[in-house]
Structure 1
Amino acid sequence: MALIALINGRRAIYFSARGFGNRFQSTERELDSRTQIDDDQFPVLNFKQVKSQRIARRKIVRAVVPPPRTEQMATDQDWGAVWPGPRSFNPSVVPLPLRQGYVSKKHQIPPGKFANAELMKIPNFLHLTPPVIKKQCEALKQFCTPWPKGLETEESMKKHFPVDFISSDYCHASPTIRNPLSRIVTIQLKLETLKLDKHARDKFLRLVGDRYNSDTDVLTLVTDRCPLKKQNYDYAMYLLTALFHESNVVESWEESKSEADMEYYDFQRNCSKVNSETILNWRKTDGEQRLSAPAGYGHSVEQLFNDGENEYNLAKYKEQTLSLLHLTN
């Protein structure tokens, strides 16, 4: 006769026969060993805190912080070796009692240099001390050439180099270092340096339009259509060259222009010149040397017609007319 039972979730068979007593004991020992193995592989989850389960805290080892460098620096320290170039502010290196920041209370002093974010925001020029600047200039002298003779003054430089080249360079954080505004090129020069005659000057001014400032006599050309700065510079110089040569060209139809076709009053081509010279030579015979109209009188007449009547032009015209007729004291 056999008896079947469940022990720890396992099925065990018990025999009641006398001859099976030893087998029953061996089966019981085998079940106990299996239960012990299962307990070792699957430990019991205990939600209750036990003192023996607490893990000992690790001790924090704090490093020994050395004193600031300013306390170890000598008074005759070479500052160029300490601060050789532009860098962020470092309070442990600068031996100055700097303060920066805003405080809400009236009688409070601004925060010191240690742990001060305001001093780190602004750019500093602590590396540009007079001894360091002198030392750097001495080092750069070997790469410099002597200053050219004859360019000691500003007037002499303007005489030999009349064209001013203006451009801009930008430094910013972006995927590309090329800024679109850096391609713009500006060229300036005084119109008197081109040595244009009256016809060429008039034609030149008509071609450039509002790029010429009559008050300062400065011509300004701005080029930005090319992608590179060098290309815009070459294009600006090409424009200046083309304007100069085109203004000196005299077309065939320009010679046939009459007084009625002129866009401005020209004293040399007007009857006023003939009338003034007739007054000056009305007593002279054919054999005597005839006088021409004074340049000051012609200029005053041109200003009166071209610029309009104002107090200055009328006074100038009156003065030159009296001088022409010899009526001044």
Structure 2
Amino acid sequence: MSAILIIEQILNGLQFGVMLFLMAAGLTLIFGVMGLINLAHGSFYMVGAFAAAAVAGVTGSFLLALIAALIVAALAGAMVEMVVIRRLYASDHLDQVLATFALILIFSEGTRWIFGSFPLYLNTPATLSGPVTLPGGIQYPLYRLALIAVGLAVWGGLWWLIERTRIGIQIRAGENDREMIAALGIDISRLYTLIFALGAALAGLAGALVGTIQSVQVGMGEPVLILAFVCIVIGGIGSIKGAFIGAILVGLTSTLGGIFLPELFKVFTDPATAQAAGASLASMSIYILMSLVLIWRPTGLFGARA
């Protein structure tokens, strides 16, 4: 296996990881601040992808498609928080799971009713199409490098928002003692709506960006949601830094495992069996990683200890 192939797969793992981070960041904010298990978070990923595909199909502009994904997903998140989620904060987690699972069905069937059952497709913008030559003569798609850059920029922006702004102070205070900041005159309902809309917008952005790599279809958010949960469990619930590190670990583990494990099994068995066994173990590898992290640190890598 050549060094160029290894570097390419590492970049693929980073790109997959930063896209997972866009999902995991909103999820960990919502769970960390509100204490809410939101199974419908993947639906905002799907909504953003469909909004982007629809706008791109009408206007031909990828930038307008991304803006539409952000706005539509944020509005959908704000509406869901005000109409449904606001009534669940005092409920136990089972009620939250059941209600947000119902939202998955509503979003899926609503999207199918509007757009139909056939998948949509987003074209890669012309300015980002084609490969770029990296040091060492490596040819790598420019669009995937742009995805990595967007993910890193969002990470930096979230860090600045949480650590350096007044709203960030309110978010961190709400995570630690929501009753106290409400007593100090902070509109906790508006804060929760803002956080939920921000998390939904990030999920919608991820769906729009990935829509050029895979088809845009109903139900596309649920598999990504599972991986996002794994990311925040590994990184520590409520930690943006943890969500980023966890997402990168999951992205690299999944991508490199799918490449190297079949090659490893070829040492012991025939190619067909090695491919099947390696692929199966690669799909399990992220959950094995999560288990090892939890054994070592039950709160996750950057989770606060009780």
- Normalised by the size of structure 1, how large is the TM-score? 0.19
Structure 1 or 2: larger helix share? Answer: 2
Structure 1 or 2: larger strand share? Answer: 1
Higher relative CO (Cα under 8 Å, sequence separation at least 6) belongs to 2
